[in-house]
Amino acid sequence: MSWGDDGLAHHLTAHTAASSGTAWQYYLVKKSAATTFTIAAAAGEVVLGVLQNDPASGGAGDIQVSGFSKVVYGGTVTMGDKLTTDASGRAVTSTKNGDHIVGRAMVSGVVSDIGTMLITHEGAASSTAETITDPGNTVKAIPVLRSGICPITSTTSDTRTLAAPTFLGQIIGLSHDVDGGSCVITVSAAFNDTGNNTITMTDAGEAITLIAMQIAGAPRWRILSNDGCTLSTV
Residue 159, domain CATH: 2.60.120
Residue 149 lies in a domain: yes
Residue 130 lies in a domain: no
User: For a pLDDT cut of 70, what percent of the chain falls above it?
Assistant: 94
Please state whether beta strands 82-85 and 91-93 pair in parallel, antiparallel, or not at all (unpaired). antiparallel
> Is residue 146 located within the same domain as residue 227?
yes
Residue 69 lies in a domain: yes
Please state whether beta strands 207-215 and 171-178 pair in parallel, antiparallel, or not at all (unpaired). antiparallel
> Is residue 116 located within the same domain as residue 143?
no
Q: How many domains is the chain built from?
A: 2
pLDDT, averaged across the chain: 90
Element (H, E) at 137: helix 136-139
Angstrom distance (rounded) from CA 170 to CA 149: 11
pLDDT of residue 120: 86
The pair phi, psi for residue 176, each rounded to 5°, is: -85, 90
Torsion (CA) 124, 4, 2, 46 in degrees, nearest 10: -20
Residue 202 lies in a domain: yes
Residue range 204-217: mean pLDDT, rounded: 92
> Is residue 14 located within the same domain as residue 112?
yes
**Alpha helix positions (H), the chain:** 136-139
> Is residue 108 located within the same domain as residue 149?
no
pLDDT of residue 125: 67
Residue 113 lies in a domain: yes
More confident residue, 217 or 229: 229
Residue 131 lies in a domain: no
Residue 48 lies in a domain: yes
More confident residue, 11 or 190: 190
DSSP state of 14: S
DSSP 3-state assignment of 180? coil
List the single range of 14-23, 73-82, 95-104 with lowest mean pLDDT.
Answer: 95-104
> Is residue 120 located within the same domain as residue 19?
yes
Domain that holds residue 186: 136-232
pLDDT in tens, 220-231: 999 989 999 999
Angstrom distance (rounded) from CA 111 to CA 107: 13
Angstrom distance (rounded) from CA 106 to CA 123: 19
Please answer whether residues 90 and 27 qualify as being in contact, where contact means their C-beta atoms are separated by less than 8 angstroms: yes
Residue 4 lies in a domain: no
pLDDT of residue 6: 43
> Is residue 23 located within the same domain as residue 119?
yes
> Is residue 120 located within the same domain as residue 14?
yes
> Is residue 25 located within the same domain as residue 110?
yes
Last residue of a domain, one of 64, 94, 124: 124
Last residue of a domain, one of 124, 151, 171: 124
Residue 151, beta-bridge partner list:
175
Most confident of 4-8, 58-62, 214-218: 58-62
> Is residue 194 located within the same domain as residue 219?
yes
pLDDT of residue 7: 47
> Is residue 87 located within the same domain as residue 161?
no
> Is residue 159 located within the same domain as residue 228?
yes
Residue range 96-121: mean pLDDT, rounded: 91
pLDDT in tens, 48-76: 999 999 999 999 999 999 889 999 999 99
> Is residue 113 located within the same domain as residue 198?
no
pLDDT of residue 145: 78
